Amino acid sequence: MSLGPFLFLQPWALLGLIALPLLWLLLRATPPEPKRFALPSLALLEDLKPEEETPARTPWWLLLLRMIALALAILGFARPTWAPNAQVNTIGGTLIVVDDGWTSAERWRDIIRTATAAVDEASQDGGGAIHVMFTAPRDVARDPSEALDAESARQLLRNARPAAWLPDRNAALEQLNATPLKPGRIVWATDGFDHDSAAAFSRALASKAATDVRINRPKNAFAITSADSSAEGARVAVVRSTTEPGVTADIIAETAEGASIASTRIAFSGGDTAAEAAFPIPAAALNRVARFRIGGSPSAGGVWLWDDTARRPHVGLADTRDEAQPLLSEHYYARKALQPYAQLTEKRLGDLLDAPIDAIIMGDRGTIDQAMNDRLTAWIEKGGVLIRFAGPRLAAQEGALTPVALRPTSRSLGSSLSWETPQRIADFPNTSPFFGIPRPTDTAVRQQVLAQPSSELESLTWARLEDGTPLVTARRMGRGELILFHVTADPDWSDLPYTGAFVEMLRRSVVSGGERSGPAALGTEGTLTPTRVLDGFGVLSPPQSSAMPIPAATFLTTRPGPATPPGLYVGPGGERALNAGAPAPGAFNDWPPEVSVTEQAQIIERAGLGGWMLALALAIVAADLIIALAFAGRLPRLWGRKATAGFAIFFLAAATLTLAPGAHAQASDQLAREAAAKLRFAYIKTGDRRLDDTTRAGLFGLSYQLGLRTSVEPDLPHGVDPARDNLELYPMIYYAVPRDAKPFSAAAVARINGYLRSGGAFIVDTRDAAPGRDVSADLQRLLQGIDAPRLQPAPANHVLTKSYYLIRSFPGRLNGRLWIESGALDRDSRRGDGVSGLFIGGSDWAGAWAIDQNSGKPLLTMDGGPQAREMAYRFGINLVMYILTGNYKEDQVHIPDLLERLGTSRDRAD
Amino acid sequence: MPQAPLSQLKAEAAALAGDLGTLTTRARAASAAHLGSAGRRKAGMGENFWQYRRHTTEDSVERVDWRRSAREENLFVRETELETARTFLFWCDPSPGFNWSSADSAPLKADRALLLCMALAGALSRSGERCGALGGGRSAVSGARAPSRVGEDIRNFKPDLPFPKPPRDTAAAVICSDFYSPLEEWRARLSPVAAKCRDGVLLQVCDPIEEAYPFNGRVRFFRPGQDRERLIGRAESIREGYLDKFAKRRQDMTDLAAELGWRFVSHVTSEEARTPLGKLAYGFELSGVAA
């Protein structure tokens, strides 16, 4: 249904407009419900200004606003579209022509939308059938005269897929002419390419009815026209349909499995429509490339399949002989050099010329009869590459097929009868295809054939020795190349075959020909059967039954079509690709004046208005809300309190979110609460679970013994993270150093220093005491940054030896010395009243103390049995006492014992 | 809030009246116009004997009670008990707007007015005054039954009844209302009553929200008992006007009372009930009825 230039796709929604007057009444009758109050003193207000009566009704303009919003919403739901050209008379129906070749694939959605828009336009008047015609040939042709209703036409378009070949408009036109169809109007949704038929086709259409051409042309690079392996990797040629400058496209190299192994970005310069992308892919990787693809342009033409021929040149080794000593074989080195990069065939020369061969490598060979000479010449001129190597036989031959005339003798360098020394190869001239190959510096050329000096010799030389004599010469013959290495193919005359440069030189020589995979490459026998075919969007899939084998003789002239879809074909000559992208069609711009043309046609298509109307309706509703709030006198409050509350809620939520990962903080708080509530020891969590468990069990054992024997009754020990947890709450923190310990983080060091300064006790146990070595040498690194004064071994009369038990040493599972702060000895500069805060040892005390939390049995064995363990506990208890009481025990309590001990020592001294 | 039961009001009124003490008329009121039957327990104009007293030089010869004087040597004057019983007539506005309160917790204006009337009647009747309802149909009585009779009669007022006719005999009138009806209407109503009643009090009982006007935003007002509603777009915008009107009405009623020779007392139900009682008593004192 249409209304002026508007077209409504859902005209039934317009029935909602009938409801508008009703809604008008409703809206008028129900202003926002005010609060109701009884007020007897209202009588006093009888004569008070009557103006406040007005808001009792919604103001007319607000009402109007709401009605507009409503009307817009209804219109929006009716999906209006701007279709000014929908007025064309469509008596006789509308014919919609759709280009559905692969050139349409990139913009397929747009093309289909354009066509669907035409269906919508056609359906609005209710008159006339709709006919849809696709221009790409199909194996089962549709009858374009079939009359469709709008819905089935839309469905047909929805289900349509682009073909993997190009449209054949002439055939389509013939098909159309064969039908009695007389359309009233024609809409041609085209890809905008010529296909050698655009002008004629549009004229033909225009002669039938008013024709409307709507173009959706690919915006960027749309087709790969060729992809060749080059010496550096691969070169991919792409074309685009526009001439917009500064456009780039991404070309992706994919493996057969679809993994992309390389991509390169090309920029179209200026108004060029073609560009070439170079893929610097290593040769080995290049062999894995199965296809190239234009990123973002999914079409059959945007994919270039690589077949065997394209990937690897076919190289024939002529007249090889089985030899008893393969290393001395003439072709051994060439074969080895080319094997990774080329398909090698070894046949007699005559047979090679019949086979699909790109290059022939011929060893030292003398006479070639005239017939063979002619065949060879013809073969080269068709694009073959003949690589000859010199040798005694060639040197003896006059008038041989060589790029340059040769002197009848060879030149020997550095032999016993020569003054000359073996020559090295000079840098490759920059005109040479070999340019860029590193010069083999250690290669000596001992013998070579010499070219007759001539004026063109310079330009024919690809490589020369340091003294300037040509080493490799080549001559372009037709499309092919005749190349002569002036040395033997084996190391007889030179070291060249030994070098890597030889490989590169051969590789480049092999691909220097004009046209590889020429007609000869295919052979003429047999057929090529499709194995994998591309669909219109450039996706490989198994072929349909309609795909036919192609005779090898006609393969190269075969264009992609319904029976021969682009894809990979297998024949006796190996795998061949039939690519859609070449030759790429050209854009067509000279539209005849009979047709009306719309570029980038989807713009005139449906989408827009409904959404805009709905959006506008929503905007009005939003404005209405604000107005209503203003009327109710709520706006300031909304700005004030509610907004504040809203912000508060928002920030609260945000804060909650930010704090959400702070679970550790909570755990840390929990630890701190527990630690503050009861005396308990702590150990540093090292991340080594076993070690942590042992340390924990050790502290538990010590706590247990303390509880048994003393009035110190610590609770279960805590594991702490020095970087996060509150250390100040623990009287003692035990650090059992793991084997692979890392230094503390800066935050941890700062906290541990703070802990020590505030009077904490930090016990470091490296657990590796050994005779003659107290603590790990690594300790200094581990405790880097810990604010430790000079350390000394605890002397034998230190208060640690008498703070609870009288002990003589500080044993754990091992028996090393205990290092304490020397300040604790030096009474003048003592800190913390001379009580050491840092205890360092390697005796694995925790291991000795450790007991099983459930059974109470010792966790680890130790030398000396229960006796030694008891001593370890005594040390532990002394340590805790020292930590808790400082040097209180230094005097008084044990005076009798001390005196006795002093006495005995004096006695002993005596 | 529904009407409070009369019995409850009676009890409250009795308590209030107890607080008020005994109201007695003052000498100034001892005019002929106020002759009544209630003994004042002091010498004055009346029919009953009160006392004999010695004749003083100020007394005229006619006043000498010769029969009493004949029995002794001195001259005696016979005095009768002062009888100045007055009639107090109460009227409370029966309109729905008066029979209303803003919240369930607040008493009805009419209930409060009735309570005050009954308390006043109680106090007055204790001092021998006769109390009744203006337009109540029954005659004024004195004594303990007076408050309840006043209460019953007032409760029997129908909202649609016209304002009562003035009493036949002189009386003091207590008119309770919110006085929100137009001023001229009140003048027309009260003038005939005032012609008969030299003394009178206009007691205005208001609801707190009527005095405070705590309204904001879009509000639809209606008067109890009336269908008409008024929608105010922004209630706060007319707040000042309303408060002016409210104050002006009070002033107008004060002026009207003065014009009639009456007193005007205003009361808000949120206040204690005894607050206006003092004012009422004071009002009657000034108008010649006082302790």
Tokens matching residue B1: 């809030």
**What is the rounded (10 degree) CA torsion for A146, A151, A154, A155?**
-90
Chain B touched by A630 (CB under 8 Å): no
Sheet holding A274-279, edge to edge: A221-229, A234-240, A274-279
Burial of A454 (0-12, 13-18, 19+ CB in 10 A): exposed
pLDDT at position A727, please?
85
| Co-location of B225 and B185 in the same domain | yes
| Co-location of B101 and B222 in the same domain | yes
Q: Which of A45, A53, A633 sits opposite B218 (nearest CB)?
A: A633
Strands (E), A478-537: 480-485, 527-534
Beta carbons within 10 angstroms of residue A642's beta carbon:
11
> DSSP assignment, residue A345?
E
Weakly modelled stretches of chain A, pLDDT under 70? 1-11, 27-33, 47-58, 79, 81-91, 124-127, 230-232, 283-284, 308-312, 321-328, 414-417, 513-525, 572-574, 600-610, 631-666, 771-777, 823-834, 889-894, 898, 904-910
Instruction: Report the candidate in B186, B188, B150, B190 with the shortest Cα–Cα distance to residue B167.
Output: B190
Chain B touched by A777 (CB under 8 Å): no
Asked if residue A805 lies in contact with residue A780, where contact means CB atoms within 8 angstroms, the answer is no
| Co-location of B98 and B236 in the same domain | yes
Q: How many angstroms away from the CA of B97 is the closest CA of chain A?
A: 5
Q: How many angstroms away from the CA of B235 is the closest CA of chain A?
A: 9
Q: Is residue B74 domain-resident? A: yes
pLDDT tens column, A32-87: 667 778 888 877 777 665 444 444 566 778 788 888 888 888 888 876 766 555 44
Q: Which of residues 35-94 of A touch B (CB under 8 A)?
A: 35-46, 48-49, 52-56
Is B218's CB within 8 Å of A35's CB?
yes
Q: Which of A34, A41, A49 sits opposite B231 (nearest CB)?
A: A34
Q: Is residue B136 domain-resident? A: yes
Distances (CA, A) of A101 to A177, A205, A535, A567, B135: 21, 19, 10, 15, 107
Tokens matching residue B88: 């107090």
Q: Which of A40, A45, A52 sits opposite B233 (nearest CB)?
A: A52
Query: A600-631 in b/e burial notation, b at 16+ Cβ within 10 A?
Result: ebbebbbeebbeebbebbeebeeebeebbbeb
pLDDT at position A683, please?
92
Q: Which residue has the higher pLDDT, B1 or A227?
A: A227
Sheet holding B229-232, edge to edge: A35-38, B219-222, B229-232
d(CA B192, CA B188): 7
Return the number of CB contacts < 8 Å for A and B. 99
Is A45's CB within 8 Å of B230's CB?
yes
Best mutation target among B101, B231, B246 (most A Cβ atoms within 10 Å) is B231
Q: Which residues pair with A189 in a beta bridge?
A: A98, A214
| Co-location of B70 and B93 in the same domain | no
Q: What are phi and psi of A58, to 5 degrees?
A: -60, 130
pLDDT tens column, B195-233: 888 788 899 999 988 888 888 877 888 888 777 777 777
Is B219's CB within 8 Å of A633's CB?
no
> Which of helix, strand or coil describes residue A201?
helix
Q: How many angstroms away from the CA of A661 is the closest CA of chain B?
A: 45
| Co-location of B138 and B240 in the same domain | yes
Chain B touched by A661 (CB under 8 Å): no
Asked if residue A44 lies in contact with residue B242, where contact means CB atoms within 8 angstroms, the answer is yes
Determine if the peptide bond prior to A583 is cis (ω within 30°): yes
d(CA A281, CA A264): 10
Closest A-chain CA to B237: A52
| Co-location of B64 and B77 in the same domain | yes
Is A48's CB within 8 Å of B242's CB?
yes
| Co-location of B149 and B100 in the same domain | yes
Statement: the pTM of the whole predicted model exceeds 0.80: no
**DSSP H/E element including A491:** none
A-chain CB neighbours of B242 within 8 Å are: 41, 44-45, 48
B-chain CB neighbours of A40 within 8 Å are: 97-98, 100, 109, 178, 180, 207, 210, 223-224
Q: Which of A36, A44, A633 sits opposite B216 (nearest CB)?
A: A633
Beta carbons within 10 angstroms of residue A788's beta carbon:
19
Instruction: Report the candidate in B68, B155, B70, B153 with the shortest Cα–Cα distance to residue B111.
Output: B155
Q: Which residues pair with A227 in a beta bridge?
A: A236
Percent above pLDDT 90 for chain B: 4
**H-type alpha helices, A744-849:** 746-757, 779-782, 845-849
Q: Is residue B33 domain-resident? A: no
d(CA B241, CA B222): 18
Asked if residue B134 lies in contact with residue B170, where contact means CB atoms within 8 angstroms, the answer is no
Q: Which of B178, B210, B231 sits opposite A56 (nearest CB)?
A: B231
Those residues with Cβ within 8 angstroms of residue B91's Cβ, 6 or more apart along the chain or in another chain? B133, B134, B135, B154, B157, B164, B173, B174, B175, B176
Q: How many angstroms away from the CA of A28 is the closest CA of chain B?
A: 15
pLDDT at position A658, please?
45
Task: Please give the distance of CA A599 from its chain centroid, rounded to a whole number.
Answer: 35
Instruction: Report the candidate in B207, B211, B203, B209 with the shortest Cα–Cα distance to residue B244.
Output: B211
Is A40's CB within 8 Å of B223's CB?
yes
Question: Which of B50, B68, B83 corresponds to the end of one domain?
Answer: B83
Res. B39 pLDDT band, cuts 50 70 90 = low
Q: Is residue B102 domain-resident? A: yes
Tokens matching residue A467: 């003294």
| Co-location of B72 and B22 in the same domain | no
pLDDT at position B251, please?
92
Asked if residue B210 lies in contact with residue A40, where contact means CB atoms within 8 angstroms, the answer is yes
B-chain CB neighbours of A53 within 8 Å are: 230-231
Burial of B22 (0-12, 13-18, 19+ CB in 10 A): exposed
| Co-location of B142 and B280 in the same domain | yes
pLDDT at position A776, please?
59
Q: What are phi and psi of B7, to 5 degrees?
A: -60, -40
Asked if residue A349 lies in contact with residue A360, where contact means CB atoms within 8 angstroms, the answer is yes
Those residues with Cβ within 8 angstroms of residue B275's Cβ, 6 or more apart along the chain or in another chain? B267
Q: Is residue B291 domain-resident? A: no
Write out the residue range of the structural domain in which residue B231 sits: 6-28+86-286
Average pLDDT over residues B96-125: 86
Res. B271 pLDDT band, cuts 50 70 90 = confident
Is A38's CB within 8 Å of B234's CB?
no
Q: Which CATH number does the domain housing residue B246 bear?
A: 3.40.50
Best mutation target among A30, A33, A41 (most B Cβ atoms within 10 Å) is A41
d(CA A94, CA A209): 9
Best mutation target among B178, B184, B230 (most A Cβ atoms within 10 Å) is B230
Q: Which of B180, B209, B217 sits opposite A632 (nearest CB)?
A: B217
Q: How many angstroms away from the CA of A33 is the closest CA of chain B?
A: 8
- The count of domains in chain B is 2
> DSSP assignment, residue A603?
G
Beta carbons within 10 angstroms of residue A756's beta carbon:
23
d(CA A255, CA A152): 41
d(CA A171, CA A189): 17
Is A32's CB within 8 Å of B249's CB?
no
**Which residue is associated with the tokens 């009890």?**
B11
pLDDT at position A227, please?
82
Q: Is residue B97 domain-resident? A: yes
Q: How many angstroms away from the CA of B274 is the closest CA of chain A?
A: 24
Q: How many angstroms away from the CA of A657 is the closest CA of chain B?
A: 38
- pLDDT surpassing 70 at residue B192: yes
**What is the rounded (10 degree) CA torsion for A411, A415, A420, A423?**
70
> Which of helix, strand or coil describes residue A329?
coil
Q: Is residue B78 domain-resident? A: yes
**DSSP letter string over A676-739?**
HHS-EEEEE--S-HHHHHHHHHHHHHHHHHHHHHSS---EEEEEE-TTTS--TT-SEEEEE--T
B-chain CB neighbours of A37 within 8 Å are: 215, 219-222
Burial of A22 (0-12, 13-18, 19+ CB in 10 A): exposed
d(CA B177, CA B90): 11
Lowest-pLDDT range of A502-516, B176-190, B268-282: A502-516
Question: Which of B83, B100, B119 corresponds to the end of one domain?
Answer: B83
Asked if residue A454 lies in contact with residue A466, where contact means CB atoms within 8 angstroms, the answer is no
Q: What are phi and psi of B267, to 5 degrees?
A: -145, 140
Question: Kind of pairing, strands B76-83 and B49-54?
Answer: antiparallel
Farthest-apart Cα atoms in chain A, separation:
143
Q: How many angstroms away from the CA of B224 is the closest CA of chain A?
A: 6
Length of chain A: 910
| Co-location of B108 and B208 in the same domain | yes
| Co-location of B56 and B146 in the same domain | no
Q: Is residue B239 domain-resident? A: yes
Here the contacts of B38-43 (C-beta below 8 Å, separation 24 or greater) are: B38/B83, B38/B84, B38/B85, B38/B128, B38/B129, B38/B130, B38/B142, B39/B81, B39/B82, B39/B83, B39/B128, B40/B81, B40/B82, B40/B83, B40/B84, B40/B128, B41/B81, B41/B82, B42/B81, B42/B82, B43/B79, B43/B80, B43/B81, B43/B82
**Which residue is associated with the tokens 């490598």?**
A361
Task: State the helix-helix crossing angle for B109-126 and B6-20, rounded to 10 degrees.
Answer: 50
Instruction: Report the candidate in A68, A62, A21 with the shortest Cα–Cα distance to residue A616.
Output: A68
d(CA A789, CA A822): 7
CA angle B56, B62, B64 (to 5 degrees): 50
> Which of helix, strand or coil describes residue A787?
coil
Task: Please give the distance of CA A899 from its chain centroid, rounded to a whole number.
Answer: 81
The letter for the amino acid at B149 is R
Beta carbons within 10 angstroms of residue A752's beta carbon:
24
Those residues with Cβ within 8 angstroms of residue A746's Cβ, 6 or more apart along the chain or in another chain? A785
Is A48's CB within 8 Å of B238's CB?
yes
| Co-location of B181 and B109 in the same domain | yes
Q: What are phi and psi of A234, to 5 degrees?
A: -140, 150
Q: What is the ipTM of this complex?
A: 0.72
Question: Kind of pairing, strands A6-8 and A2-3?
Answer: antiparallel
pLDDT at position A734, please?
92
Asked if residue A253 lies in contact with residue A281, where contact means CB atoms within 8 angstroms, the answer is yes
